[in-house]
Structure 1
Amino acid sequence: MTGLGVVTADGDGHEVFWRSLFTPPPPGHRTMADWDPAPWLGPRETRVLDRFTQFAVAAADLALRDAGRPVSDPTRSGVLVATALAGMATVERQAVALRERGERRVSPHFVPMFMPNAAPAAVSMRNGWRGPCETIQTACAAATHAIGRAAKLIANGECDLMLAGGTEAAATPLVVAGFTNMRALSSTRRLRPFDGERDGFVIAEGAALLVLEERDAATARGARIYGEVMGLGSTADAHDITAPRSDGAGAAECMRLALRDAGVEPAAVRQINAHGTGTLLNDAAEARAVSAVFGPETPPVTSTKGATGHAFGAGGALEAVAVLLSMRHRVIPPTIGLEKVDPEMSLDVVTGSGRAWAPGPALSNSFGFGGHNGCLVLGPGGEP
């Protein structure tokens, strides 16, 4: 992984993102109220692209710029952009137009604006890349799956260069109402992963895309290498459309598969970036899964969602970036919002101002509605 592109409520770029992981956010949803697409899109493009696609275009450009804009065969260059809810803002606006003003007032751009594949399509067209161009929609595990699949395409010799990650712009009135009535959102407007008083999550907008390329090619051009994808796990709970298995069995198997794919023993794992949404059931199930895989002495665990909020389909990409930056800075970010670990959990959760570490294999966990589980094993890359 040689390039990182991030846009969040805290600003653009991975340096801003890294600093935000150590600062308690203001209460409430992490929306990009001051979002300005002008650096990347003209007025007409802005009008015909939903915010989730705009975020992806910006993150892609930032990632390619960070990677030094590597040159590759366009037929062997691809884009995998995950999203959970895609163009919900467009759907809501156009539904109002239909109801209040009639069918003739529905925009002819409506369908291409809200469709989930609009984001990777826009990125591929802007770069002229004609390789795989796909959307993954496995809820909150989607970006993790996208990064893992992109790495496999390169490892299998099918592609030379990939942009992979996720984007989300789903803090809309309809989505907020749905999660509120589901009682998934925090009544305190704070996301407190693994806390004994946790009561739900806050929604985040944003995107993160990563440049992936074959190591020898990256080294040959003198690229900065943030890290490598060592392994991927993917499983299903086959249990419930929203609730995880209470014993965490599906998540535990996903972690084991990722470690097996990476050729890494549990004892060698030096950090876990948890899914850690701050919900009662999810955090409890994940804690049981981690204990099942690692035993009573777990690696250091952090959930960066306490700082970022929950960006759904983009969350796994933001967390992969957080892991890579923690390797670069040799510090594991703290679990913002956590005051006291739930006594039912046997986890070594990182708190305070973070924790110094010697970078090594790290797990990044993502678990989504529908029982979708995704886990990445990321390793330090070093710099040539």
Structure 2
Amino acid sequence: MVNFRRIMMTTVVTGLGIIGPGFNNVNQLSTILKNVTVVLKLEKLKRLEIYTGRVKDEEISMNLFPSMFKKLPKAARLLLHACHEAVNMAGFDVEDGRTAVIIGTSGGAIDETIQLARNQEQETSVFHIGNMNSYSLASAVSAAFKANGPSYCLTNSCPSGLQSIELGKMMIESGQADRVIAGATDSTLESLILESFSKLNVLHNDSAIQPGPFKGTGFSMSEGAGVLILENEDLALKRKASIYGKIGACISNQDAKSPYKSDKNGNQLLYAVDRCLAEGYPNYINSQALGITQNDSIEKSIYQQRFAERDIPITSIKGMVGHSMGASGMFQAVSTLISINEQFIPPAVNCDEQVIESLNIVTDRIDQPINHVLITSQGYGGTNSSMVIKRE
């Protein structure tokens, strides 16, 4: 008889990969964070002059995949690039039936849909239907790496990347998978999308001022993909894999107020943070710090309530790499793992001066031991996530 007694497991990270504006691997992102390099560029559109973070097509390595993968939408190609780095770093056999694929996104393959709608005279292709299907992001990874375990695509707004890690941890610690390719990707820098966000007054559109966290002037949209290889710690140790970090508490919830806005009081994000604090206080907080007034107010209030007295450092990478939508949480996770392994806290560049006065905002790189980091994220429609990543 099968023994279904629950065995406590730990989820570790054995590989990571990333691509974004100005960087196409983990080492390049590390250099950007250490040198405090802003990769956002001022871009003029029809009715907008905004900062964006675009990835050049030539930066996406597709020569390692069969030719059919080159027909995929940009979001999928970004994802495969990051996956290749992460899988190579982890060094394991994907074709074991026990490796799951979980991909988070906000826009899915919407860029493909917009381009097709714009070019209605273009001859249709047998690839168009598949490319417009958001699940093609996950199925592309499964096919490219022969991962024949469970495969999912989450479209849960900006925290989708963190939630792909959370679901991966659940699957590993419930015994449904031994390893998970947890990723997130978005490529939504289409003029229609940018103009629509501009009408919501959430895009930073002051070309004279550099965008930054907690400013309340809006965010600067970027694109990219990040991937973590999650693994059962016992199996990772058994095969003598390098371990880059451990996934601690992962808490997600819903404001349940409206599909168009969040709860201005931030009660559910506070609840998620409190659940994570059951594992202790962090060395620092990797904050979403989106730049939208309401979101920033919620995070500032939580940080003042829970962390101000302890003078815990707070940072955000938004001012350097922008907001990559559904991939943003994964950008936070990868940057956190870089800081844990290289022992430094990256600064929050171009942060609002009043916030710096009221909270311990990191304004210059800090070199110090890092063992425990808290990540926070909020998303359109009221979704919230908070996560702990540890060194050991």
Write the mapping of 1:206-285 to structure 2, written as runs, cut at 5 A: 206-260=224-278, 264-265=279-280, 268-285=281-298
Judged with a 3 Å threshold, the aligned counterparts in structure 2 of structure 1 residues 341 and 4 are, in CA distance, closer, same or farther, namely farther
Distance 2:199 2:67 in 1: 37
Task: Return the letter of the residue paired with 2:62.
Answer: A
Task: Report whether the alignment pairs 1:24 with 2:48.
Answer: no
Partner of 2:220: 202
Deviates more, 1:289-298 or 1:234-243: 289-298
Task: Report whether the alignment pairs 1:372 with 2:380.
Answer: no
SS in 1 for 2:338: helix
Gaps of 5+ in 2: 1-12, 42-50
Q: Name the TM-score, length of structure 2 as normaliser.
A: 0.88
Deviation per residue, 1:38-95 (Å, 9 max, x gap): 3334544212x1000111111111101112x212562210111100001122111111
Task: Return the letter of the residue paired with 1:181.
Answer: K
Deviation per residue, 1:238-279 (Å, 9 max, x gap): 23434432222121111122334xxx13xx321110011112
Partner of 2:20: 8
Write the mapping of 1:1-384 to structure 2, written as runs, cut at 5 A: 1-21=13-33, 22-27=36-41, 28-35=51-58, 36-47=60-71, 49-67=72-90, 69-71=91-93, 74-98=96-120, 101=121, 105-189=123-207, 190-195=210-215, 198-260=216-278, 264-265=279-280, 268-294=281-307, 296-338=309-351, 340-342=353-355, 346-352=358-364, 354-381=365-392
Deviates more, 1:332-341 or 1:11-20: 332-341
Distance 2:65 2:191 in 1: 26
The CA RMSD measured in Å over matched residues stands at: 1.9
Q: Name the TM-score, length of structure 1 as normaliser.
A: 0.90
SS in 2 for 1:367: strand
Distance 2:165 2:311 in 1: 25
Deviates more, 1:297-306 or 1:51-60: 297-306
Distance 2:265 2:291 in 1: 17
Deviation per residue, 1:204-231 (Å, 9 max, x gap): 1100001111112222222221101011
Distance 1:19 1:239 in 2: 41
Give the Å deviation of 1:359: 1.5
Deviation per residue, 1:274-323 (Å, 9 max, x gap): 01111222111111122333353342111111111001110111110111
SS in 1 for 2:82: helix
SS in 2 for 1:230: strand
Distance 1:316 1:298 in 2: 24
Query: Contact 1:227–1:380 at 8 Å: present in 2 too?
Result: yes
Deviates more, 1:108-117 or 1:79-88: 108-117
Query: Contact 1:246–1:285 at 8 Å: present in 2 too?
Result: yes
Query: Contact 1:97–1:106 at 8 Å: present in 2 too?
Result: no
Distance 2:75 2:94 in 1: 27
Aligned length: 366
Deviation per residue, 1:166-205 (Å, 9 max, x gap): 001111111111111111111125331024xx41111111
Query: Contact 1:25–1:307 at 8 Å: present in 2 too?
Result: yes
Judged with a 3 Å threshold, the aligned counterparts in structure 2 of structure 1 residues 246 and 64 are, in CA distance, closer, same or farther, namely same
Judged with a 3 Å threshold, the aligned counterparts in structure 2 of structure 1 residues 34 and 123 are, in CA distance, closer, same or farther, namely closer
SS in 1 for 2:246: strand
Percent of aligned pairs with the same residue?
24
Distance 2:132 2:302 in 1: 36
Give the Å deviation of 1:115: 1.5
Task: Return the letter of the residue paired with 1:342.
Answer: V
SS in 2 for 1:276: coil
Query: Contact 1:169–1:206 at 8 Å: present in 2 too?
Result: yes
Distance 1:51 1:106 in 2: 18
Gaps of 5+ in 1: none
